[in-house]
């Protein structure tokens, strides 16, 4: 019985992580980028890379605080909680070391529309919110839905 309880507890704790949906990294269709590394994503999210290699200004678009998509991006890409990320942004703004905070929106559809309309935009969407108005890119040459893809929603 004790073994069963241990297995059940482990399954209850890990199942949400295993079931977490991949978040697709999307950019404006005019962006020539097809792949980014996790290290590049970190720089983009932290405002440490203000422009793409093409020279277009980077505009990061995230879901609003408290949303599982945002929490997943912060945790998967940066290894940060919302509080850690906010502390980083405050410090970076104070010291002038950042290109600014990401834009925040309340829905995947709104993120898709903004990425579609800003040439340097990058966002994170559920597969169901991706269409041909934006371009899905790979991370470390792995596409969302493939084995080893690491950007997932979560709290």
Position 1 pLDDT exceeds 90: no
Q: How do residues 40-79 score in pLDDT, each as one tens digit?
A: 999 999 988 999 999 999 999 999 999 999 999 999 999 9
Q: How many CB atoms lie within 10 A of CB 123?
A: 31
Cα torsion at 90, 92, 93, 99 (round to 10°)?
-130
pLDDT at 17: 44
What does the pLDDT read at residue 152?
Answer: 95
DSSP structural state of residue 64: P
Q: 115-127, pLDDT tens digit by residue?
A: 999 999 999 999 9
Ordered by where they begin, the domains of the chain are 20-139 (3.40.190.10)
Element (H, E) at 104: strand 103-105
Structure tokens at 53: 């290699």
At 82-117, the pLDDT tens digits run 999 999 888 877 776 666 789 999 999 999 999 999
Structure confidence at residue 89 (pLDDT):
87
Residue 26's DSSP bridge partners are 123, 136
Reduce the secondary structure of 3-27 to three states and give it as a string: HHHHHHHHHHHHHHHHHCCEEEEEE
- H or E stretch at 111: helix 108-117
């Amino acid at each position: 019985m004790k073994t069963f309880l241990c297995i059940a507890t482990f399954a209850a704790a890990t199942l949400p992580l295993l079931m977490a949906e991949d978040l697709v990294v999307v950019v404006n269709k005019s962006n020539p980028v097809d792949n980014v590394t996790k290290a590049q994503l970190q720089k983009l999210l932290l405002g440490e890379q203000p422009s793409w290699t093409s020279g277009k200004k980077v505009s990061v678009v995230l879901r609003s605080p408290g949303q599982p998509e945002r929490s997943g991006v912060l945790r998967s890409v940066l290894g940060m909680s919302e509080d850690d990320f906010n502390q980083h942004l405050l410090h970076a703004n104070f010291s002038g070391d950042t290109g600014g905070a990401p834009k925040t929106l309340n829905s995947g559809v709104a993120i898709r529309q903004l990425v579609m309309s800003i040439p340097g935009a990058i966002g994170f969407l559920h597969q169901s919110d991706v269409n041909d108005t934006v371009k899905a890119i790979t991370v470390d040459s792995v596409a969302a839905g493939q084995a080893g893809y690491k950007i997932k929603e979560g709290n």
